[in-house]
Amino acid sequence: MDVMELLQGQLSEGMLDQLTQQIGGADKQQTAAAASGIISTLMGGLAKNASSTDGAAAISNALDRDHDGSILDDMMGMLSGNKQPTSEKTLNGSGIVNHILGEKKDGAVNMISKLSGLDSGSTGNLMNMLAPVVMGALGKKKQEHGLDVAGIASLLSGTVASQSTQNPTMDLVTRFLDADGDGSVLDDITSMGMKFLGGFFGRK
């Protein structure tokens, strides 16, 4: 029941080409690296929010209401605007990001921008595009496995714990989300560059 594997499967070469074009024609390797960092960060943020009963319940309710996983059936159509979801909130990436990251959003964009080499404006746009996809993947797993509130919390915490052992980016994300101030972690990240992000998609 690997959400990260499901998300990785969605980001095909063709999808990365489209995302690169939509954010202004950046380098595709930078797009792939930033996408990896964004997915890790959003999953980490969701897991942190789900660590409280109220937070997990809010995520579960949002999945039931707006994120049934149908976005994954035609991701290119949804992201390009050629296909409309049943709920307008399904594609409200900015709203989703604000709910997940709150005041950490700007720091997260800065962190991913430094890691990937993608400028912060493009990174923020890409995060808004991918947030509905992350929620869709989570909603799909919820439906497939009949997960209740505790099941959602367990899935998220287990995913982050598993990724932290094999994906250095997730470890950085966890440190960033747990830190009271963003500065020290961001300073650590500045010199690391894209090498940490390559592992998620297997693209160096």
Tokens of 201: 């998609």
Note every long-range contact of 177-183, with CB atoms under 8 Å and residues 24 or more positions apart, other chains counting.
Answer: 177/41, 177/44, 177/45, 177/48, 177/104, 178/48, 182/104, 182/107, 182/110, 182/111
CA distance 38 to 130: 8
Write down the pLDDT at residue 80.
75
Domain ranges of the chain: 3-192
The pLDDT of residue 188: 60
Cβ contact 28:14 at 8 Å: no
Q: Report the 10 Å Cβ neighbour count for 120.
A: 14
Residue 31 dihedral angles phi and psi, to the nearest 5°: -60, -45
Whole-number percent of the chain with pLDDT over 70? 86
Spans of the chain, pLDDT less than 50: 182, 193-195, 198-204
Question: Which pLDDT score is estimated for 203?
Answer: 43
pLDDT at 160: 92
pLDDT one-digit tens code per residue, 10-28: 888 888 998 999 898 678 9
Q: What is the model's pLDDT at position 189?
A: 60
**What's the pLDDT score for residue 201?**
47
- The residues near 177 (Cβ < 8 Å, ≥ 6 apart) are 41, 44, 45, 48, 104
Q: pLDDT, tens digit, for every residue of 74-113?
A: 888 877 777 777 778 888 999 999 999 999 999 999 989 9
